[in-house]
Amino acid sequence: MSERTAAFEFLQIIKWASTQENFWTECAGEENTIGPSGFSQVSIQTVLPLKVSKGEYIGRIERDDPNMFGNLDDNDISLAIRFSYAGVDVVLGGDGTLNNWRSRRNRFERNVGRRIMASVVNLPHHGSQHDSAPEVLENLFTIGGDRYGVTSANGHSHPSQDVIEWLSKQGISPFCTNLMPACGANASKLFAMPGISPELAAILRQTALSGGVIQPCQGDITLRIESAGNFAVVPQHSSFCGYRSSFASLFPAGP
């Protein structure tokens, strides 16, 4: 996204928000509860960005900082949200950064004496090696029970194989919307297919005859939580995954 486009989009959001006073909820703060209609039985809290991160960004706007758009540190104000229903905690990690998770969020959790402890985590920054480092994931996942790490990524640049291997070693089952090279993806480039439905485009990428463009995927990944607290992660396509704990017996650990 260009700086001009980003600035225009930002102004559109501000203009819309100024006309929606009764419907506008600020999503920021360490544990800011939000209550959208239709989710009365679900607790929804923002866990990132922290207020200090937002303050830094506002300061850049007020200083007319010419570099305020299009920089990687824009992810410091990325949203991360926790959903709690029937005793199951789910975290959408957004593009939360290592800096925010490691120093700022961890400091807050030490002060209040509790951490997130989620059973299902949509990994920060699409499962990147940097922002989904072990020290981050250790503080996001609960200690035991069924645990799932979900990545919505292209399979080409993300997720990191190191992250998937770490999840597997911890007994956390990984689910990826697009599979990475270690799982059969050969795509050196993801071709755009304008005018073709996303469903057909996915099939074409998975069945391509030309080497270097094959992109197997699992499609949409659905989390189902019952009122009794039972839950499961269900991929759209049942692609085999040797990194999941259910297949651990097939790959015994070495000496």
pLDDT number for residue 249: 46
34, 47, 65, 97, 141 from 50: Cα distances, Å = 15, 7, 21, 11, 19
- Say yes or no to pLDDT of 3 above 80: no
Q: What is the dihedral of CA 201, 202, 203, 209, to 10 degrees?
A: 80
pLDDT score, position 245: 64
Check residues 243 and 68 and name the one with the higher pLDDT: 243
Task: Tell me the domain boundaries of the chain.
Answer: 25-182
Whether the predicted pLDDT of 173 surpasses 90: yes
CA atoms within 13 A on the CB side of 106: 13
CA angle at 72 for the pair 193 and 104, rounded to the nearest 5°: 130
pTM for this predicted structure: 0.78
- Going by C-alpha positions, the residue among 222, 142, 230, 242 that lies closest to residue 182 is 242
Please tell me the predicted confidence (pLDDT) of residue 162: 96
Which of 19-23, 124-128, 161-165, 234-238 comes out lowest in average pLDDT? 19-23
| Confidence grade of residue 70 (pLDDT, cut at 50, 70, 90) | low
pLDDT in tens, 89-131: 999 999 999 988 887 787 778 777 778 899 999 999 999 999 9
Give pLDDT, residue 250. 46
User: What pLDDT is stored for residue 229 in this prediction?
Assistant: 94
Average pLDDT over residues 31-54: 83
Torsion (CA) 134, 138, 144, 147 in degrees, nearest 10: -70
Cα-based angle 107, 108, 113 (whole degrees, multiple of 5): 100
d(CA 226, CA 10): 38
Distance CA(70)–CA(146), nearest Å, equals 38
The share of the chain scoring above pLDDT 90, in percent, equals 35
Residues in the chain, overall count: 255
Measure the CA angle with vertex 149, ends 93 and 114; round to 5°.
60
The predicted pLDDT at position 236 comes to 87
**Residue 251: per-residue pLDDT:** 47
Distance CA 4, CA 15 (A): 17
Report percent pLDDT > 70 for the chain: 83
pLDDT at residue 242, rounded to an integer: 82
Lowest mean pLDDT among 70-84, 117-131, 157-171, 224-238: 70-84
For 147, other C-beta atoms within 10 Å of its C-beta total: 20
pLDDT surpassing 90 at residue 228: yes
pLDDT higher than threshold 90 for residue 252: no
> For position 138, what pLDDT does the model report?
93
Strand segments (E) across the chain: 32-34, 43-48, 80-85, 88-92, 120-122, 148-151, 173-176, 221-225, 231-235
pLDDT tens-digit readout, 8-41: 787 787 777 777 766 666 676 677 888 777 888 9
Per-residue pLDDT at 255:
47
Q: Which fold has domain 25-182?
A: Metallo-beta-lactamase; Chain A (3.60.15)
